Amino acid sequence: MNIYEISSIKDRIAGNSYVGRGIVIGKTEDGKKGVFAYFIMGRSENSRNRIFVEVGDEVKTHPYDASKVEDPSLIIYSPIRKIGNDLIVTNGDQTDTIYDFLAEGKTFSQALETRCFEPDAPNFTPRISGILHFANGDFTYEMSILKSIDAEGTDCARYTYSYPSVSGLGHFIHTYVCDGNPIPTFQGEPERVKIGNCIDCFTKEIWNNLDENNKISLYVRYTDLETGETENRMINKYN
């Protein structure tokens, strides 16, 4: 096995009915843009009842049909927030925790030491998070997963990964391995994936290969490292 192999995002998700929520961070092949993508999937009616809404540089999840919301605590949050030269992307309200800690001069890791996996037994959905640190015409990034240490949810294991940006290389972390009951939690390091120069191509590659029944929303952003200008793509299945 070649541990340095870089797979396409298609190869990572195609044919897998449920990878849950996913974050990709990396740099385009030409080295000119920083990239992130965030998608959500859902199996229950409550989980599927969501859309992404852009609010300036940030993104929030909103209910598609407010009358059908059963429990908003784990489905309504801000997955994307910006503070200074840092861009945060997560699968839950830990976005706000990270934002608040950075505002106090603390770090991504320090913020996540105060959080744990989601309290949705028996799945104990992991909290996945990423952050891009832009500086001097380039960026570095960190990724994290908080997950249960055992099947009973007795404690939390915390893993943080730190990366330089490398042209054409991205890292992909998602909440689940595949569908199941309970759903098996993501294992190992973030997966290496290819990042192309074309935002539309990358967006379509992700969206078209997520399971048709369970995919809900996708947001992709390319940031020009020289000018700071951004290009965004957003897809909501139910809007």
Q: Which residues, including other chains, have CB under 8 Å from residue 66's CB and lie 6 or more apart?
A: none
- The CA distance from 162 to 57, in Å, is 24
* Cα angle 79-65-176, degrees, rounded to a multiple of 5: 45
pLDDT of residue 48: 86
Q: How large is the average pLDDT for residues 153-176?
A: 98
- Residue of higher predicted confidence among 72 and 52: 52
Q: How large is the average pLDDT for residues 86-105?
A: 98
Which amino acid is residue 126, in one-letter code? P
pLDDT digits (tens, 9 = 90+) for 13-25: 999 999 999 999 9
Average pLDDT, the chain: 95
- Residue 1: pLDDT band by 50, 70, 90 thresholds? low
pLDDT of residue 74: 66
pLDDT digits (tens, 9 = 90+) for 180-227: 999 999 999 999 999 999 999 999 999 999 999 999 999 999 999 999
pLDDT digits (tens, 9 = 90+) for 57-82: 999 999 888 777 777 776 789 999 99
Statement: residue 130 has pLDDT above 90: yes
- Residue of higher predicted confidence among 36 and 43: 36
**List of domains in the chain:** 9-236 (3.60.20.20)
Computed on alpha carbons and rounded to an integer, the radius of gyration of the chain in Å comes to 17
The 3-class SS string of the chain reads CCCCCCECHHHHHCCCCCCCCEEEEEECCCCCEEEEEEEEECCCHHHHCEEEEEECCEEEEEECCHHHCCCHHHCCCCCEEEECCEEEEECCCHHHHHHHHHHCCCCHHHHHCCCCCCCCCCCCCCEEEEEEEEECCEEEEEEEEEEECCCCCCCEEEEEEEEECCECEEEEEECECCCCCCCCECCCCCEEEECCCCHHHHHHHHHHHCCCCCEEEEEEEEEECCCCCEEEEEEECCC
- Residue of higher predicted confidence among 109 and 65: 109
pLDDT of residue 2: 84
